[in-house]
Structure 1
């Protein structure tokens, strides 16, 4: 009888030991323990060391760190009837572990489904150009809608970002042609504007030269200076026709005099000076040629 009592005591001690071991719970800093007592929620405990009543209380561990979720690519028809594939990334965390356990069966899967549905719904409200240019606005709207829908589950959605937009090949070629045409348009406008400004400057320069003919000769000298700097073996000298016109006129006058002498006409018939008749001026002095 004494041996049986000793075995019973040992058995009870072992049961108490395992009972004590099962009652001790250790929760790390990034988790919370949701406690149910006889099926009723009694609170959230942790982090750290605490005790639960075996067979009467049950604990569920909930991770409170930020969860990163890839939203699979979704086929979306935009408002201008273009079919595209869009994927996104979602960042969320549990702020109320009790509601995350009680109000939804699997809060991660439920958040995933909400994110996919909202992504298709929101992107379909925009045109293709708007979706490509207003990415930040669409991300903010996605975050706001998903956060409102998951708030009863104790979920806080921090960031929603659209990662990639996959366009059909035909649409990519059409957009490339449109971008190329737009660049050519801007190039032609810039070139035409430059020609217009240059023509205005040339008109002003011509007006100055017409008032002061000596400026043309100064410009010739400046051109020679610029050419000489390059150390070229060939030097092109721009010679104004007005400088040699007096010699041409004298030669022409001598030929006419010879012709008149041979024809019996008066060789010294009074005529106005060639320079005065043609309105010629010396480009160096600005005086009329005689």
Structure 2
């Protein structure tokens, strides 16, 4: 009994009882009028119904569909009309799963998922199927197993969004006939056997090691190429070689308290003339007819 029909019940019953108890005030209409008010008061809770904003009720009149009523207050004819079912039109969820389902590459997995759905046609939800909640859960579980069986394990793990969308379309196509719209389907967890987890972990580690070695080899190749280019530059420009030698000595001696022993040959190498002599001795063809001396001078 809703508050409005309850209030109407007490008002009509009270008015009828008052008229019946007033003696000859209404004359011959006392009994009929008072009795009518009492009867109407007793029927008020059955005739005046109130439905919340998110609900709809399916009303049958003598067994035939009369309409989907609500929200708010509405009247029905007692004993002729009846409310067959109340339907909640808010978004609802059902958790479902598949245990020991085989993927396309015959890997057993346990999958947990959740479906978000909403009744958009109360008439069809009430008349087309006996229990749409149970039917949605069964269809969702069956569709999940079918999707797992047609999907490899790697795709099931890495392309979960695509699997979710495929499930939503498949389940929505089946439930549309019942007036139910599937908003989304989300896979929450995919559990695989422990032995397979260990094998996949070793495979991933091997892949990472292979990539690391490839990157290291590429880096060494780049370094070797840079060394070759530097050697070519030094061979063509002795001044660059001298500056590099001076930079090496500076970098070595810039720390305080360090004592560096430098061979005389290295000191002589700092002399531009010595550097040129070393370069010329390495390339005798650069000075035709001249034999290089021991100190870089022609004899």
Structure-1-length-normalised TM-score: 0.79
Distance in 2 (CA, whole Å) between partners of 1:73 and 1:280 is 88
Hey, what does 1:288 align to over in structure 2?
A: 297
Give me the whole-angstrom Cα distance separating, in 2, the residues matched to 1:280 and 1:188: 47
Instruction: Look up the SS of the partner of 2:260 in the other structure.
Output: coil
**Paired residue for 1:30?**
54
Q: CA deviation at 1:235?
A: 3.9
CA distance in structure 1 between the aligned counterparts of 2:264 and 2:212, rounded to whole angstroms: 37
CA separation of 1:238/1:188 partners in 2, compared to 1, >3 Å: closer, same or farther? Answer: farther
1:20-75 alpha-carbon deviations (Å, 9 max, x no partner): 22111111111112111111111111111110111111112110000011113432
Of 141, 152, 156, 1:131 maps to: 156
Residues 1:39 and 2:48 are matched in the alignment: no
Query: Which ranges in structure 1 are unaligned for 5 or more consecutive residues?
Result: 246-275, 282-286
Stretches of structure 2 lacking an aligned partner (at least 5 in a row): 1-19, 22-27, 270-289
2:218 is the counterpart of 1:209 = no
Partner of 1:48: 72
Aligned to 2:243, what secondary structure does the other structure show? helix
Change (3 A) 1:236 1:41: farther
RMSD: 2.6
TM-score, with structure 2 as normaliser: 0.77
Whole-Å Cα distance in 1 between the matches of residues 266 and 294 of structure 2?
A: 8
Q: Is the alpha carbon distance of 1:202 and 1:29 closer, same or farther for their aligned partners in structure 2, counting shifts above 3 Å?
A: same
Q: Which has the larger displacement, 216-225 or 89-98?
A: 216-225
2:224 to 179, 187, 199: 199
CA distance in 1, matches of 2:69, 2:100: 43
Asked whether the 8 Å contact 2:147–2:167 carries over to 1, the reply is yes
Q: State whether structure 2 residue 147 is matched by structure 1 residue 152.
A: no
Q: How does 1:5-154 map to 2 (within 5 A)?
A: 13-59=37-83, 60-154=85-179
Which residue does the alignment assign to 1:267?
none
Name the CA distance, whole Å, in 1 between partners of 2:80 and 2:171. Answer: 37
CA contact (8 A) 2:112 2:187 kept: yes
- Residue equivalent to 1:190: 215
Alignment partners' CA distance in 1, 2:172 and 2:293: 89
Deviations 1:100-150 (A, max 9, x none): 011111111100000000000011101111111211111111000100100
Contact 1:75 1:120 in 2 (8 A): no
Cα deviation for residue 233 of structure 1 reads: 1.6
Q: Is the 8 A contact 1:209 1:215 kept in 2?
A: yes
The 4+ residue runs of structure 1 with deviation greater than 4 A are 5-12, 237-240, 242-245, 276-281
Correspondent of 2:191 among 154, 163, 166: 166
